[in-house]
Structure 1
Amino acid sequence: MTAGELSRDARQVFMRAALAVKPKPSPAGKPKFLGPPAAVVPFSDWNYYYTRDPLEWHSDTDTNHKVSVPIGFVTDLASIPSAFWTLLPKTASYTYAAIIHDYLYWTQPCSREDADNMLKAVMEELKVAELKIVTIYQGVRFGGEASWTNNAAAKAKGEKRVLKLFPTDMKISWEQWKIEPDVFA
């Protein structure tokens, strides 16, 4: 089943669940997620989404990374091949970790390895099951190089991923919206 074939009920359940996620304090009591849960809105194809709220996370390790995903960032959520969606759907307890990871892969403010390690750290904070963390982490370490390289090439060609205007027609796909003039920040 593709994301476009998800039932309306399944989509509504996802959106309610995404809005219901609450920030969790770190063991030291200091929150790693800053602010309320971020709303994520799909384009019509349900393959791409954009953030309607900022999503901020910081690491309290010695590297002390902070990631601030802006309003309007376009993401495909978890970039998991559709053959594995039964076990690892695009939307699950790791969705916010996937958005942060996508943003790091797009902006490339750190090494790819650091971005992958932050994905793992965010999933751990979100209490994702250990087997899923290991599987997703190993997947991005093994297969993420192409996405990293393709993102750098797309940015170099002028592609943008942060919207300043959001679609008002629910039938608009990302492929249609990204060619509209003046929709990017």
Structure 2
Amino acid sequence: MSAFLTELQMENATRKDDGHWRVIAPLVYQSDVAGMTFTVPTGFIIDLASVPRVPIVYLLAGGTSNEASVVHDFIYSTHPLPRNIADAVLREASAVTDVPAWRRWVMWAGVRLGGGSHWNPQVAA
């Protein structure tokens, strides 16, 4: 069964409030969708899903399921599996943290529509 095996521990990664965070203890997530366990290492820098700060978008999807966002950012950085599975892991991990189904769909649709440039940053967006 999919589960977070450790709790998310993070701190502000910079002295300013720019939305970047540092993982301060490994975050371990076991995924049924991916058929593997992910360990986000101490020191990994994240931006918690890169949700645009446009009011309605942030209201719908921002600030939810930080744990799932950290795992998703890690997968996007390391590419251990295809992008569509990475995005499915975001939705799955959000369900594990009790994010409502409608919000999981909004988050998933957002990464499917806007995540391509972050998946392969060498390709011009």
TM range (shorter): 0.7 to 0.9
Measured on the aligned residues, the alpha-carbon RMSD in Å equals 1.5
Q: As a proportion of its length, which structure holds more strand?
A: 2
1:131 equivalent in alignment to 2:108: no
Distance, in Å, in 2 between the alignment partners of 1:121 and 1:49 is 22
Aligned partner of 1:117: which letter?
A: A
1:60 equivalent in alignment to 2:32: yes
TM-score under structure 1 normalisation? 0.60
| Structure 2 unmatched ranges of 5 or more | none
Of 38-47 and 107-116, more deviation after overlay is shown by: 38-47
Q: SS where residue 59 of structure 2 aligns?
A: coil
Distance, in Å, in 2 between the alignment partners of 1:48 and 1:144 is 18
**Percentage of identical aligned residues:** 29
Aligned pair count reads 118
Larger Rg: 1 or 2? Answer: 1
Aligned partner of 1:55: which letter?
A: L
Alignment partner of 2:10 out of 37, 40, 43: 40
Runs of 4+ in 1 over 4 A off after TM superposition: none
Per-residue deviation, 1:78? 2.1
Aligned partner of 1:39: which letter?
A: Q
TM-score under structure 2 normalisation? 0.86
| Structure 1 unmatched ranges of 5 or more | 1-25, 154-185
In the TM superposition, 1:1-185 aligns within 5 A as 26=1, 32-35=3-6, 37-42=7-12, 43=14, 44-60=16-32, 63-83=34-54, 84-89=57-62, 91-92=63-64, 94-150=65-121, 153=122
